Structure 1
Amino acid sequence: MAYVTGYDDAYHSMTWFGAKGYPEGGNAGRCYFTGLLGMYRLHGEPDVLFADGTSGDGFSFRWTHVWGAPAFNGGAGPFHEIWEYTSKALGFKAHWEEDHEGGFEEAFGKLRALVDQGIPVQVGLHYSLMLPYGAQTSPRLKFQYETMGRSGFGHHVVVAGYDLDKGTVTIFEPNDVMPHSRYEAPIEVFLEAWVQSKQRGPNGYEPWEHHHPFGGEWSLHDGYGPYLMVWVEPGRDPSWDIAASIRHSFRRNLKILCGDYPKPYALFGNQWQIPRFETGAPGMAVFAAKIRAGEIEDVLAPNGERRPLFVRGQIPNHGVLGRAGAAGYLRRVTRELGLRGLDTTHTAAAAEAMQTSSDAFRVLRYEAELKAAGEILSRIADTELKALDHMTRAWDEVRHIHEAAPKAQTLAAE
């Protein structure tokens, strides 16, 4: 038996509650990043919101007619950029692997070796196979299982232990709260879920019903091969400097919010045939205006069901959680500027605006009527345009943050 000591305390939940409370009103998302946030905390970065905001995830927005919905996440390539950029920006070294030549034995052996070293591992899998086991100990997952059944969806969880005698792995579910987020699942079930390529049948890749509709069919999962693993090495670069980190990530976040960087939210498809899409706060404003003008409709599923764009799409969950990270990041930037005697006016105002955006997305999550949702999203876009203006004004201060020592260090030197 092996278990990563300390991960229970480092674990970070991506769950927030609606009006019906726990478990029915539980909302969550961004599983692709939650595990790494816990790893950063385990390995020495206590400010999880700062780590979250460093990723750029909470400053992003994209919308395209191809998908028919706004989104804040986007599959393998975008996820890799988040994992790699954020870890490096925070002074850590991260890894991801998939499709091992030796199959399950090689991958599971690597996973066990990492856990033996005290390193938790985020894995990507088809979660419908795992959900019944989480439902045995989690009221939230039990409710989810009873209402969703065996609908298939890709999901990221963290493996922080295993027991070969019992034939189980210890799973941490990001879309729940402690202690219900931790459960055990049989290794053979974990294997089936981890392979993922079972989605390929005799007639090619076969979609799972209840995935997002696209082109009159149900869509596929997010594009990973079997045995995806993501982990962060213990130990931070001793030369890591928060001021240098902020200077780089702030400009990147500013570019994402203004729509200059569609990444980490690039689109899949032929690079010569990328459909028109909107990004950043300006793109959100354009999208909201299209809803208000009646140019956008709720999503039509292949079974003829008309799905409320915001209530069923899980889109606002990413807004709630991502914007909270963006606000936390900006609050940390404000603090670091203040320690160095630099002006904090605009970073503080930007933090407040992004927190207001996060709170507004909580309301949007439950608005089924599209026109009313468009009005809410329009107000959110106005708020984020204000955040963008403040961040733009703050750049002249932030760009010099690495040149000014914190006051405590200055006094000590004197």
Structure 2
Amino acid sequence: MSAIKPYDEAYYSMTWMGPKGYPENGNSGRCYFTGLLGMFRLHGESDVLFADGTSGDGFSFRWSPVWGAPAFNGGAGAFHEIWEYTPRALGYRGYWEQDHEGGFEEAFAKLRGLVDRGIPVQVGLHYSLLLPYGAKTSPRLKFQHETMGKSGFGHHVVIAGYDLDRGTVTIFEPNDVMPHSRYEAPIDVFRKAWEQSSQRGPNGYEPWEHHHPFGGEWSLHDGYGPYLMVWVEPERDLDWDIAKSIRHSFRRNLKILSGEYPRPYALFGNQWQIPRFETGAPGMAAFAALIKAGKVKDTVSPKGDPIPLFVRGNIPNHGVLGRAGAAGYLRRVTKELGARGLEIAAAASAAEHMQASSELFKVLRYEADLAKAGTVLEQIAAHEVAALDDMTKAWADVKLITERAPMVNPIAAE
């Protein structure tokens, strides 16, 4: 048996409570990144919101009429771009692997070796197969299992222990609250779920219900192969400097919020056939205007059922959580600028606007009327455009952050 006991304390929840409380409206999201935030905390970075905001995830937005649904997350590229950038920006080494040549045996041996060294591992899998086991200890997963039935969806969880004698792995569900997030699942079921994450079946790609509909069929998930694993090595670079980290990540986040670093994701066939899509805060404002003009409609499932754009898709959950991380990041930037005697007003204002955006997303999450939702989104976009303006102003001071040493507090020095 091997278990990473400190991970119970380091675990970071991406859950927020809606009007009906828990578990029915225990909203969550961003499973592809939550596990890493717990890893950063386990390895020594206590400011989780700063780590979250460093990723750029909470500053982004995209929408395309081809895709049919907006997304308020995603950074500058696909998930692995976040997995690669964020650890490096925080002074760690992050890794991701998939589709090992030796199949499950090689992948599972690698996973066990990491856990034996005290390193939790985030994995991508066909989560519906594991829901019955999580439902035994989690009211939220029990509700999800009962309402979603046997339909499939891809998900990321963290493995922080295993017991070969009992034939189980210890799973941490990132979108729940402790202690319900921790449960045991049989290794053979975990293996099947881990292998099926690729969605490749004997007759080609097999859609899973509950992904967003596209072209009369259920869409695919994020497209990674079997045995996907993501982890962060515990040793932090002794020369890591928060000023250097902010100096680089702030410009990147500014580019993401402005829409200059879009995330096409699965929206194109090749680089010459990218359909028009809106990105960044200006793109969000344009998208809200399209809703107001009646040019955006609710989606329809392959079964013909209408899907309220901002409710059933759960996309606003990412806005709530991502924007909270963006606000936390900007608050830390404000603190570090102030410690070096630099101007803080613009960065502090940007943080307030992103926090206001997060709170408004909680309203958007439950607005099924598209016209009313468009009005809320218009308010959100106004805050994010204002945040973009503030960050643009703050950049002049952030550029100087590596040239100024933190001021010593005379009282503390005595």
Instruction: Report the CA distance between 1:235 and its aligned residue.
Output: 1.1
Q: In structure 2, what is the equivalent of residue 129 of structure 1?
A: 129
Return closer, same or farther for 1:76/1:195 CA change in 2, 3 Å cut-off.
Answer: farther
Instruction: Report the CA distance between 1:75 and its aligned residue.
Output: 11
Alpha-carbon separation, structure 2, partners of 1:204 and 1:33: 28
Checking the alignment, whether the CA contact within 8 Å between 2:98 and 2:226 is kept in structure 1 is: yes
Q: In structure 2, what is the equivalent of residue 87 of structure 1?
A: 87
Q: In structure 1, what is the equivalent of residue 335 of structure 2?
A: 335
Amino acid corresponding to residue 54 of structure 1 in structure 2 = T
Checking the alignment, whether the CA contact within 8 Å between 2:254 and 2:391 is kept in structure 1 is: yes
Instruction: Indicate yes or no: 2:188 matched with 1:188.
Output: yes
Alpha-carbon separation, structure 1, partners of 2:74 and 2:349: 29
Q: In structure 1, what is the equivalent of residue 39 of structure 2?
A: 39
Instruction: Indicate yes or no: 2:294 matched with 1:291.
Output: no
Amino acid corresponding to residue 134 of structure 2 in structure 1 = G
Instruction: Indicate yes or no: 2:143 matched with 1:147.
Output: no
Alpha-carbon separation, structure 1, partners of 2:76 and 2:218: 19
Give the secondary-structure state (helix, strand or coil) at the position aligned to 2:396.
Answer: helix
Instruction: Report the CA distance between 1:151 and its aligned residue.
Output: 1.5
Give the secondary-structure state (helix, strand or coil) at the position aligned to 1:101.
Answer: coil
Checking the alignment, whether the CA contact within 8 Å between 1:62 and 1:265 is kept in structure 2 is: no
Shifted more, 44-53 versus 203-212: the winner is 203-212
Checking the alignment, whether the CA contact within 8 Å between 2:73 and 2:322 is kept in structure 1 is: no
Return closer, same or farther for 1:268/1:124 CA change in 2, 3 Å cut-off.
Answer: farther
Return closer, same or farther for 1:194/1:231 CA change in 2, 3 Å cut-off.
Answer: same
Amino acid corresponding to residue 304 of structure 2 in structure 1 = G
Show structure 1 runs of 4+ deviating over 2 A.
72-77, 197-203, 263-269, 409-413
Q: In structure 2, what is the equivalent of residue 162 of structure 1?
A: 162
Checking the alignment, whether the CA contact within 8 Å between 2:247 and 2:401 is kept in structure 1 is: yes
Return closer, same or farther for 1:268/1:47 CA change in 2, 3 Å cut-off.
Answer: farther
Amino acid corresponding to residue 277 of structure 2 in structure 1 = F
Instruction: Indicate yes or no: 2:355 matched with 1:351.
Output: no
Give the secondary-structure state (helix, strand or coil) at the position aligned to 2:161.
Answer: strand
Checking the alignment, whether the CA contact within 8 Å between 1:324 and 1:354 is kept in structure 2 is: yes
Checking the alignment, whether the CA contact within 8 Å between 1:63 and 1:287 is kept in structure 2 is: yes
Alpha-carbon separation, structure 2, partners of 1:107 and 1:100: 6
Alpha-carbon separation, structure 2, partners of 1:76 and 1:36: 18
Checking the alignment, whether the CA contact within 8 Å between 2:168 and 2:185 is kept in structure 1 is: yes
Alpha-carbon separation, structure 2, partners of 1:273 and 1:26: 39
Return closer, same or farther for 1:11/1:249 CA change in 2, 3 Å cut-off.
Answer: same
Aligned-residue identity in percent: 77
Alpha-carbon separation, structure 2, partners of 1:150 and 1:349: 46
Instruction: Report the CA distance between 1:202 and its aligned residue.
Output: 3.1
Q: 1:128-163: per-residue Cα shift (whole Å, max 9, x none)?
A: 001110000000100111111111111000000000
Alpha-carbon separation, structure 1, partners of 2:269 and 2:324: 31
Q: In structure 2, what is the equivalent of residue 400 of structure 1?
A: 400
Q: In structure 1, what is the equivalent of residue 391 of structure 2?
A: 391
Instruction: Report the CA distance between 1:203 and its aligned residue.
Output: 2.2
Q: In structure 1, what is the equivalent of residue 104 of structure 2?
A: 104
Q: 1:310-363: per-residue Cα shift (whole Å, max 9, x none)?
A: 001111100000000000000000000011011100000000000000000000
Q: In structure 1, what is the equivalent of residue 253 of structure 2?
A: 253
Give the secondary-structure state (helix, strand or coil) at the position aligned to 1:343.
Answer: coil
Alpha-carbon separation, structure 2, partners of 1:377 and 1:339: 35
Alpha-carbon separation, structure 2, partners of 1:365 and 1:186: 35
Alpha-carbon separation, structure 1, partners of 2:325 and 2:276: 28
Return closer, same or farther for 1:75/1:325 CA change in 2, 3 Å cut-off.
Answer: closer
Instruction: Report the CA distance between 1:201 and its aligned residue.
Output: 2.8
Alpha-carbon separation, structure 1, partners of 2:78 and 2:411: 43
Alpha-carbon separation, structure 2, partners of 1:245 and 1:410: 26
Q: 1:78-131: per-residue Cα shift (whole Å, max 9, x none)?
A: 101101111100000001010001100000000000000000000000100011
Instruction: Indicate yes or no: 2:278 matched with 1:278.
Output: yes
Return closer, same or farther for 1:287/1:34 CA change in 2, 3 Å cut-off.
Answer: same
Shifted more, 270-279 versus 74-83: the winner is 74-83
What is the total number of aligned residue pairs between the two structures?
414
Alpha-carbon separation, structure 2, partners of 1:12 and 1:51: 12
Give the secondary-structure state (helix, strand or coil) at the position aligned to 1:235.
Answer: coil
Shifted more, 180-189 versus 209-218: the winner is 209-218
Q: In structure 1, what is the equivalent of residue 371 of structure 2?
A: 371
Q: In structure 1, what is the equivalent of residue 326 of structure 2?
A: 326
Q: In structure 1, what is the equivalent of residue 116 of structure 2?
A: 116
Q: In structure 1, what is the equivalent of residue 22 of structure 2?
A: 22
Give the secondary-structure state (helix, strand or coil) at the position aligned to 2:162.
Answer: strand
Give the secondary-structure state (helix, strand or coil) at the position aligned to 1:122.
Answer: strand
Checking the alignment, whether the CA contact within 8 Å between 2:207 and 2:218 is kept in structure 1 is: yes
Checking the alignment, whether the CA contact within 8 Å between 2:75 and 2:263 is kept in structure 1 is: no
The unaligned stretches of length 5 or more in structure 1 are none
Amino acid corresponding to residue 189 of structure 1 in structure 2 = V
Alpha-carbon separation, structure 2, partners of 1:323 and 1:197: 28
Instruction: Report the CA distance between 1:270 and its aligned residue.
Output: 1.6
Alpha-carbon separation, structure 1, partners of 2:72 and 2:109: 34
Alpha-carbon separation, structure 1, partners of 2:288 and 2:86: 30
Alpha-carbon separation, structure 2, partners of 1:286 and 1:167: 53
Amino acid corresponding to residue 279 of structure 1 in structure 2 = T
Give the secondary-structure state (helix, strand or coil) at the position aligned to 2:350.
Answer: helix
The alignment's TM-score, normalised by the length of structure 2, stands at 0.97
Checking the alignment, whether the CA contact within 8 Å between 2:62 and 2:263 is kept in structure 1 is: no
Alpha-carbon separation, structure 2, partners of 1:36 and 1:369: 35
Checking the alignment, whether the CA contact within 8 Å between 2:320 and 2:358 is kept in structure 1 is: yes
Q: In structure 1, what is the equivalent of residue 49 of structure 2?
A: 49
Instruction: Report the CA distance between 1:205 and its aligned residue.
Output: 1.1
Instruction: Report the CA distance between 1:198 and its aligned residue.
Output: 6.8
Alpha-carbon separation, structure 1, partners of 2:411 and 2:405: 10
Instruction: Report the CA distance between 1:300 and its aligned residue.
Output: 1.1
The alignment's TM-score, normalised by the length of structure 1, stands at 0.97
Q: In structure 1, what is the equivalent of residue 64 of structure 2?
A: 64
Instruction: Report the CA distance between 1:281 and its aligned residue.
Output: 0.3
